[in-house]
Structure 1
Amino acid sequence: MTNPSVEPKASCPLMSKTQPPRLVSKDGRSLMHNSGSPGSRHTCFSALRDMWGTWLALRWRWVVLAFCGSFLLHWLLFAVLWYLLARVNGDLDVPNHDSPPEGHVLCVKHVNGFTAAFSFALETQLTIGYGTMYPNADCPTAIALLALQMLLGLMLEAFITGAFVAKFSRPQKRCGGILFSPQAVVCEVKGQRCLMFRVCNLLPRPLVDVSVSAVLYQHHNDHELLQTAVEFSIDNLGPRPCPLFLSPLTFFHPLTQSSPLNNSQSHFEMVVFLSASQESTGSGYHMRTSYLPDEIQHGFCFSKIKSVHEKHCNKKETMHYFSTHPCPLTNTLDTLEKEHVVVQLNGEGSDFVE
């Protein structure tokens, strides 16, 4: 069978057609947008309705910028309120706050300008202690404004702190050391043709209860997106989770007559989902990737692993786990046609297209 990885794409008419956009990137990012949104206004309202999810989806640079901006705006807002209180109460007209006129009650001592009001708002929010500026207990308005600032400030600090903790603890952000093979392969295992991919764990600790699932996405002529489950297993464990994730693991899917890949169209996208947990804390790890038809090497197999105890410093040195070498397929097209198995991986494997 011809190897599609070395054959020019122009020789295959099915692959030369315009293909639908990718749904999931190789590093697991979702590239699919909601097609039901009529415009940017609807998107903005959706983001406001789900502020927590929108916040967690932001990049770190925007989170840090929002963190600094929210506190600055909070201090600025209450600096304006403290300044207005001092102006309405007549404190700005008092030349010496240490000896105010008889009968005049100062709301905040030594707040005689906007800069002083901003400094007082900063001291109140951060609770760094009052110096010469402090609120007067004989001014009820000042006490009420002080309580309002403290309540809103505590709510803001709780939201910011919770968002930072949530972003640090997101399962997909802890998976930087879990690598999928850039390409999948089709080779024979014990006389059975199989689709295989490999996963490597570079984390400093092993993972447990590793489970893998895959979904085959196919676009039809009426723009309908068909989803079909693809079962993968490792060695003799079958569909059961792998109890210990050392490095690496090779998952395979037999291309039998009942396999959804046998009758797939020329273009498809297979999205692979990996879930695992950390043994010491029970924290969840979730990672995903996808494979297009031109990312599947036909007639290749992964190189054997010499040792799982080798330690590598970076991802580049670990890529030799994903190296492949030619592995001729013994089953001919005639044998496959007699068994009525139509392999459509990468648009090849049969003389006709369903």
Structure 2
Amino acid sequence: MFQFFQKRLREYLAARRIQRTRLVTKDGRCNIEFGNVRYRNRFVLLMDFWTTFVEIRWRFVLLMFITSFAGSWFLFGLLWYWIAKSNGDLRWQDPPQNHTRCVDNVHGLTTAFLYSLETQTTIGYGGRAITDYCGGAVTLLIVQSILGAVINCFLCGVILAKISLPKKRAKTITFSEMAVICPKRDSLCLRIRVANLRKTLLIGSQIYGKLLRTTVTTDGETIILDQVNIDFVVDAGKDNLFFVCPLTLTHVIDKASPFFEMAVDTLHMQEFELVVFLDGTAESTSSSCQVRTSFIPLEIQWGYNFLPIISRTKEGKYRVDFSNFSKTVPVATAHCAYCFHNEKGHHHHHQHTGVENQGFEVIDIHDQLDGTKM
């Protein structure tokens, strides 16, 4: 039992260490913070107040929603109390019987607060109403009505904008947990699987990648987070994808690829982070969104390929089995990219039955290979 918990603790600490060292998390968030920012630069965030309010956390939006309304009700309640006091309307001032009030039935702080709330929310219970005796009360009524409408429109706009943020659409795009390196059509390729969990399409989808690593130039300069472009394609190209079913992104490892110098026994000793981006426009809202994830060397399997997940039912419908979305199966693969391109006999590999599923045959992929790996 102790060894079991010790193993779990080591796995947890290793996962936390990996989470801290990567720039982009698996769900697309950037692990970066800014330090020593001048106060005047922080003030610029308030100048762009709309973006600031839209991007803050929900807990602060709800707090701002509550404090804005309750605070304005209380502030104007104090003003109504001051007007009533100035006119001698309060109960402790003992007004005469023929006294004309500025607001009927406002004779204390509580009733002033209730009248402020009823005025700003346009609720009329019939008990308290303004008279035409006090000009200041009429002016205050106009000011509170306008300010209440502004607060209502602004906060409702912030909440609506946060609900409809394009990044929420990005949550329904998922990448495979692992990337694989295997032969594909006489080329050694790095492959990643991506799926759209909604039936609505992403219009004009584009895919690309960045390899982040620390490099040292010939002049001895150390470049942290040096970015190298990684081109990804699918069978139909890399732009304007028909993203109706899961796609497998492919990067050909040729002499121009940064993966060309790597091998199966040196891959996991490398220090890099592969960040993959998918840009598109949501079909239902016409809003642009970007999905991103990252892979570190420990999340790249050399000599594996993805299991098929698309099949055709007997009724003629196409079925996607997401239980095998990230599952992989070992395939015969060259030891390194140089071996694959230069040594005879490494240009071909053995096919496992059903891995490609080229004819979209009716298959039961749960009963396929026993050597699958997540």
Of residues 80, 96, 112 in structure 2, which corresponds to 1:117? 112
Q: What does residue 351 of structure 1 align with?
A: none
Structure 2: distance between partners of 1:60 and 1:20:
24
Q: What does residue 37 of structure 2 align with?
A: 37
Three-state SS of the structure 1 residue aligned to 2:255 is coil
Would the aligned equivalents of 1:184 and 1:297 in 2 still touch at CA under 8 Å? yes
Q: What does residue 230 of structure 1 align with?
A: 230
Structure 1: distance between partners of 2:257 and 2:72:
59
Q: What does residue 333 of structure 2 align with?
A: 329
Letter in 2 for 1:272: V
Q: Whose relative contact order is higher, 1 or 2, with alpha carbons under 8 Å and at least 6 apart?
A: 1
Three-state SS of the structure 1 residue aligned to 2:308 is coil
Letter in 2 for 1:27: D
Would the aligned equivalents of 1:94 and 1:100 in 2 still touch at CA under 8 Å? no
Q: What does residue 8 of structure 2 align with?
A: none
Q: CA 1:145/1:305 → structure 2, altered by over 3 Å: closer, same or farther?
A: same
Structure 1: distance between partners of 2:62 and 2:212:
37
Structure 1: distance between partners of 2:18 and 2:277:
27
Would the aligned equivalents of 2:88 and 2:95 in 1 still touch at CA under 8 Å? no
Listed as ranges, the gaps of 5+ residues in structure 2 are: 1-16, 217-221, 263-268, 344-374
Measured after TM superposition, the shift of residue 23 of structure 1 is: 1.4
Given the alignment of the two structures, is residue 168 of structure 1 paired with residue 163 of structure 2, yes or no?
A: yes
Q: What does residue 258 of structure 1 align with?
A: 256
Q: What does residue 54 of structure 2 align with?
A: 56
Would the aligned equivalents of 2:169 and 2:289 in 1 still touch at CA under 8 Å? yes
Q: What does residue 344 of structure 1 align with?
A: none
Three-state SS of the structure 2 residue aligned to 1:224 is strand
Measured after TM superposition, the shift of residue 284 of structure 1 is: 3.1
Listed as ranges, the gaps of 5+ residues in structure 1 are: 1-16, 340-354
Letter in 1 for 2:270: S
Q: 208-217 or 41-50: which moved more? A: 41-50
Measured after TM superposition, the shift of residue 263 of structure 1 is: 6.0
Letter in 1 for 2:247: L
Three-state SS of the structure 2 residue aligned to 1:250 is strand
Would the aligned equivalents of 2:204 and 2:280 in 1 still touch at CA under 8 Å? yes
* Equivalent runs, 1:242-281 vs 2, <5 Å: 242=241, 244-262=242-260, 266-281=270-285
Structure 2: distance between partners of 1:204 and 1:337:
40
Given the alignment of the two structures, is residue 207 of structure 1 paired with residue 202 of structure 2, yes or no?
A: yes
Three-state SS of the structure 1 residue aligned to 2:329 is strand
Q: What does residue 354 of structure 2 align with?
A: none
Aligned residue pairs, count: 311
Letter in 2 for 1:135: I
Q: 277-286 or 21-30: which moved more? A: 277-286
Normalised to the residue count of structure 2, the TM-score between the two structures is 0.74
Letter in 2 for 1:21: T
Would the aligned equivalents of 1:19 and 1:267 in 2 still touch at CA under 8 Å? no
Letter in 2 for 1:150: S
Letter in 2 for 1:186: I
CA RMSD of aligned residues (A): 3.0
Three-state SS of the structure 2 residue aligned to 1:307 is strand
Q: What does residue 342 of structure 1 align with?
A: none
Would the aligned equivalents of 2:25 and 2:294 in 1 still touch at CA under 8 Å? yes
Measured after TM superposition, the shift of residue 330 of structure 1 is: 3.0
Three-state SS of the structure 2 residue aligned to 1:294 is helix
* Equivalent runs, 1:1-354 vs 2, <5 Å: 21-37=21-37, 45=43, 47-92=45-90, 93=92, 95=94, 99-101=97-99, 105-129=100-124, 131-220=126-215, 222=222, 224-235=224-235, 237-242=236-241, 244-262=242-260, 266-307=270-311, 318-330=322-334, 335=339
- Among all aligned residue pairs of Structure 1 and Structure 2, give the percentage whose two residues are the same amino acid: 36
Structure 2: distance between partners of 1:213 and 1:46:
32
Structure 2: distance between partners of 1:307 and 1:42:
58
Would the aligned equivalents of 2:209 and 2:277 in 1 still touch at CA under 8 Å? yes
Q: 61-70 or 22-31: which moved more? A: 61-70
Measured after TM superposition, the shift of residue 129 of structure 1 is: 2.2
Would the aligned equivalents of 2:215 and 2:224 in 1 still touch at CA under 8 Å? yes
Letter in 2 for 1:153: G
Structure 2: distance between partners of 1:311 and 1:337:
37
Measured after TM superposition, the shift of residue 241 of structure 1 is: 2.0
Residues 17-72 of structure 1 deviation map (CA, whole Å, 9 limit, x = unaligned): 9998321110111221224526xx67864543443223222333332232122211
